[in-house]
Amino acid sequence: MSEQELLLKIRDLKIEGRSDETWNQIVNGIDLDLHKGEVLGLIGESGAGKSTIGLAAMGFTRDGCRISNGSVEFDGIDLVNADAATKRGLLGKRIAYVAQSAAASFNPAHRLMEQHTEGPVQHNVFSADESEADGIELYRKLRLPDPENIGFRYPHQVSGGQLQRAMTAMAMACRPDLIIFDEPTTALDVTTQIEVLASIRDIVEQFNTAAIYITHDLAVVAQMADKIKVLLKGDEVEEADTRTMLSSPKEDYTKSLWAVRSFERKQKPMAKADETPVVSIKNVTAAYGGGTVKVLHDVSFDIHAGRTVAVVGESGSGKSTTARCITGLLPPLEGTVEFDGVELPADYRQRDKDQLRQAQMIYQMADTALNPRKTIGEIIGRPVEFYMGLTGAAKRKRVEELLDILELEPNQYIDRLPSELSGGQKQRIGIGRALAAEPKFIICDEVTSALDQLVAEGILRTLAKLQDEFNLAYMFITHDLATVKSIADEVVVMKEGRVVEAGPKDVMFKPPHHAYTDLLLSSVPEMDPDWLDQLLEERGVDNIGDAASSKI
Amino acid sequence: MSVLIWIIGIVAGLLVGGWVIRALGQAINLPSKQANIYFRDMPYLASVGLALAIFAIAVVIYFYFIAPTPFFVWAVNGFIFFALCAFIFRLLGRNVGTEGSKKLFRQMPLTAAFGILVIIVYAFTSIFAGFIAPYGQEEVFAKANLLPGGDVATGGDPAHKLGTDQIGRDILSRIIYGAQNTVGIAFVTTCLAFLIGTTMGFLAAIKGGWVDQLASRVVDALMAIPQLIFALLLMTIATAWAGSNGFLVTVYMVLIIAVLDSTRVYRLSRAVGLNIVVMDYIEAAKLRGETLGYLVFKEILPNAFAPLLAEFGLRFCFVFLTIASLSFLGIGIQPPLADWGTMVKDLAAFINFAQFSPLTAALPLMAAGAIALLTVGVNFVVDWMLQKTSGLKE
């Protein structure tokens, strides 16, 4: 690698962000070297300054930020002091950017190909026709289905994983020297992610492009990067090539990141056959749009007191719909939901207060699950008042107790608004609201997928502690198999609205699997830099991800 | 033809001027680094805009100092005066008050400070009209048609600074009372429109189905008819019902305008409400078994407050203008109550005196200006609030 010439040189980069009328430093002096054809992985939790540094590598800062010190040199050009015309000539042509959410980054009013050819035509690299032909070639290289025609669709007509690959193709359109990938696979399912990863790595190698790969997923970065830089709160923790970094990290923080998946609670034995389950779903078939689009087909499983049942599957497999049937938001067409052996009314509006109280829900996005105009005390206090009838000082005392259980200092948090909390703290408030109803059963809908790994682990530990304390039953909806490994007692695998496999965790994680379970398990990236290579070798490029999933 | 040549000449001059200004700015090394970067990265069209601004200032200076006309000079003076007032008001706000209010004023643009100042002055005037006005609004004096200025030599009277109207009522007092009547009634009407509009809008958003269909189609039907024409039609009917009872006519007017304007409020609150009802916290509240009233007033309303407040400001302006228009047409606020719309109509003939006595001709403009000033002020504040809540920068 080192024989290749130096492409990007960042020295003592400091970036400040403006909030509350003062400039606060958010990046404190970062040095970075990137050679041609090299891939650098930037990792760290949210707020570490990964994206800010990624953007600064293009000489760009977000609104309200400024580069206060240091230099960014791209191929000898000083990007910090370059004028607008120089930067315009570089961006898109020699430096490209791939954003996290391709769905939000494509203009929905234009076809993919129109957006693809815009850059090359603007920069006089190709004519529109040449660029179009080249686009089709790139789509083929990225193994998009039907490469001749997919470019003439609108963004909403292709899936998320395909869109992310189309965006990578767009970044490649001018054959740039440097591409910045900002969490390109974070929003994707594991099975889709693996396809995108394989194609990104492939194309970056083919064109000898340098790349900065920003992510918080260590296993992903292990597959992609030649070297890794770990960031914490705007400071560099350490930098080394990938293998050294994975095998012998020096700093404590890096070690803690590496060890984050260590949490695994003991699996509880299966409940006795004659025991009445807390929640029992019996032959549920459900549909949206008044029965026209069936999304659940004959789904049945039981959840016992004090146990965690993890429901896994990719998006669209019916996990969340099952939860909606249990809560009564979507009355099933056929089948019933029993609670402690008693059948629940199908519609939540017909359930009485106690039935509603017994089943609570924790949501994926704490931002939309907590009313932004209410204080923490009001949010947790409402179910206390509504179900328990406590008011005034008694209510406040109960809220304080709950905050204590959640390891949040009551006096400090009770009067804050959700916007004044971090992601993990918000999720704890969501747990607190569910707990305040004193339920027997809680549905956790992807509760950790929007969180950093360290924070997610803390949430899982809290949930496990609460389960032991109050003998709660959890239905844990997730697509992250690592989470399943750490917390579940039983696993239910769903695909296209059907239960494909179900059983105790230890059995499920041991072969032989159902073909789909096997695909899910094998698609989870591991912290081994050779993992993707081995997998591709074993299975071949056409047998991974969605391509394989549609064959089952 | 010569006008066309002038226009082409000015445009060409601006195009060249813009280029020259930018070239100059880039050639000269300015003391500030920011300014240097500004000229370096300046797009050509922005430099033409800069040239246009310089040209406009030159034109203003010409008509103010070299060839002055009274109305233009007043306008410029007024503009400078208002800008100064706003500046002093903001300066005051930045140094007096709590830490929170000081911070608010520090981030406030001058236009918003001006708008707030205007609203405060209007609110003060309308509340204390009885104390500020020298005479009552219905008081008739012996001398009608006194000219403004208070100078006996030019047909005025020091007791009536702005003169009297056709039947001898003091115009200054009527302008002050006009604030009370016009602004007060507009405020009540807007509140009523919001009560109807938001309640129905949120209900439609939560319930959906036939409730939404029914309410939305009724609103569509109401909105399909041009608002002012429809209001005129309904007011004609209402006037026939009310007979000679002036108070009843006003009540009908308030109701009619409130219902017609609530359609716009309905549309907004339904749209905002639809975005809020899909949030997980609404689902959580529904699953808790909360009642409809709790959902509307405790969960949705606080989150819709910012856009609704902005709409309130705009809606207030429209209601205010509708009332003034109706009064101008003679079927709005009934005499003897003073009202700006009616005053514009009554005093309109004075505009013919512009050449001989500019001050007299300004009288109908004062009532109209009072309407315009409040509209502009409220809009400034609304713009600022929208910008703040939407999180846009610049």
**H-helix or E-strand spanning residue A533:** helix A531-539
Mutate to test the interface with A, among B103, B278, B287, B296 (most CBs of A within 10 A): B287
> How close B255 comes to chain A (CA, Å)?
33
Residue in A84, A361, A387 nearest the CB of B287: A361
Chain A CB contacts of B107 below 8 Å = 21
Sorted by where each starts, the structural domains of chain A and their CATH numbers stand as: 7-258 (3.40.50.300), 279-526 (3.40.50.300)
Residue B303 with chain A: CB contacts under 8 Å: 371-373
Question: Which pLDDT belongs to residue B394?
Answer: 41
Question: How sure is the predictor about A261, in pLDDT bands with cuts at 50, 70 and 90?
Answer: low
> What are the tens digits of pLDDT across the range A438-459?
899 999 988 887 777 778 888 8
Residue A548's pLDDT band (cuts 50, 70, 90): low
Residue pair A391/A401 in contact by the 8 Å Cβ criterion? no
pTM, to two decimals: 0.77
CA nearest to A362 within chain B = B284
Residues of chain B with pLDDT under 70: 390-394
**d(C-alpha A149, C-alpha A161), whole Å:** 17
Class of domain B171-390: mainly alpha
Torsion of CA A37, A40, A41, A43, to 10 degrees: -160
Q: What is the pLDDT of residue A1?
A: 43
Name chain A contacts of B40, Cβ cutoff 8 Å.
Answer: 83-84
Query: How would you classify residue A97: left for phi > 0, otherwise alpha for psi between -120 and 50, otherwise beta?
Result: beta
Least CB–CB distance from A327: residue in B41, B287, B305: B287
Alpha helices in chain B (DSSP H): 2-27, 33-40, 44-61, 70-95, 99-106, 110-127, 129-132, 171-178, 184-207, 209-224, 227-242, 246-277, 280-288, 292-294, 301-328, 340-347, 358-390
**What strands lie across the sheet with A490-495, from one edge to the other?**
A359-362, A441-445, A473-478, A308-312, A490-495, A498-504
Residues A206-235: b if buried by 16+ CB within 10 A, e if exposed: eeebbbbbbbbbbbbbbbbbbbbbbbbebe
B99: contact with A, CB 8 A cutoff: no
**What are the pLDDT digits (tens) for B90-126?**
999 888 888 888 888 888 889 999 999 999 999 999 8
B residues 27-46 near A, CB within 8 Å? 37, 40-41
Would you put residue B391 in left (φ > 0), alpha (ψ -120 to 50) or beta? left
Neighbours of A11 (CB within 10 A): 14
Tokens (6 digits) for B184:
């007060």
Run of H or E including A481: helix A481-487
The Cα–Cα gap between A295 and A189 comes to: 19
CB A125 within 8 A of CB A79: no
Q: How far is CA B148 from CA B213, B350, B372, in A?
A: 57, 11, 21
Mean pLDDT along residues A88-113: 86
User: What element of type H or E holds A23?
Assistant: strand A22-35
> What confidence score (pLDDT) does residue A543 get?
67
Nearest CA among B5, B95, B53, B114 for reference residue B378: B114
Name the closest residue on chain A to residue B278, using Cα atoms: A368
Identify from A365, A371, A376 which residue to disrupt to test chain B contact, counting B C-beta atoms within 10 A and taking the largest count.
Answer: A371
- Residues A42-83: pLDDT tens digits? 888 777 788 888 888 888 888 888 888 888 888 888 888 888
User: Is the distance from CB of A493 to CB of A516 less than 8 angstroms?
Assistant: yes
Instruction: Return the number of CB contacts < 8 Å for A and B.
Output: 56
**Mean pLDDT for the stretch of residues A306-334:** 87
In A, minimum Cα distance to B300 occurs at A371
Q: What are phi and psi of A458, to 5 degrees?
A: -60, -40
Chain-chain contact of A83 with B40 (C-beta, under 8 angstroms): yes
Q: Are residues A361 and B286, on separate chains, in Cβ contact within 8 Å?
A: no
Confidence of residue A245 (pLDDT cuts 50, 70, 90): confident
Q: Is the pLDDT of residue A169 over 70?
A: yes
Closest-CA residue of A relative to B291 is A349
CB A439 within 8 A of CB A360: yes
At residue A387, does pLDDT exceed 70? yes
pLDDT for res A433: 92
Say yes or no: A383 contacts chain B, CB-CB below 8 A.
yes
A6 pLDDT band (50/70/90 cuts)?
confident
Give the C-alpha separation, B249 to B272, whole Å: 34
Residue A379 pLDDT: 92
Tokens matching residue A347: 């519609």
A154–chain B Cβ distance below 8 A for any pair: no
Residue A307: which of A448, A509, A505 has the closest Cα?
A505
Q: Which of B103, B106, B288 sits opposite A386 (nearest CB)?
A: B288
Residue contact A369–B281, C-beta within 8 A: yes
> What pLDDT is attached to residue A552?
65
pLDDT of residue B393: 43
pLDDT bin (cut points 50, 70, 90) of residue A3 is: low
Chain A residues within an 8 Å CB radius of B305: 373
- Look at residue A353 and give its three-state secondary structure: helix
- Measured CA to CA, the distance from residue A140 to residue A313 in angstroms comes to 28
Query: Does the distance separating the beta carbons of A383 and B288 come in below 8 Å?
Result: yes
Report the pLDDT averaged over residues A99-111: 84
Residue of A nearest to B275 (CA): A368
ipTM of the complex as predicted: 0.78
* B207 has a chain A CB within 8 A of its CB: no
Does A386 sit within 8 Å of B287, measured CB to CB?
A: no
Average pLDDT over chain A, rounded to an integer = 84
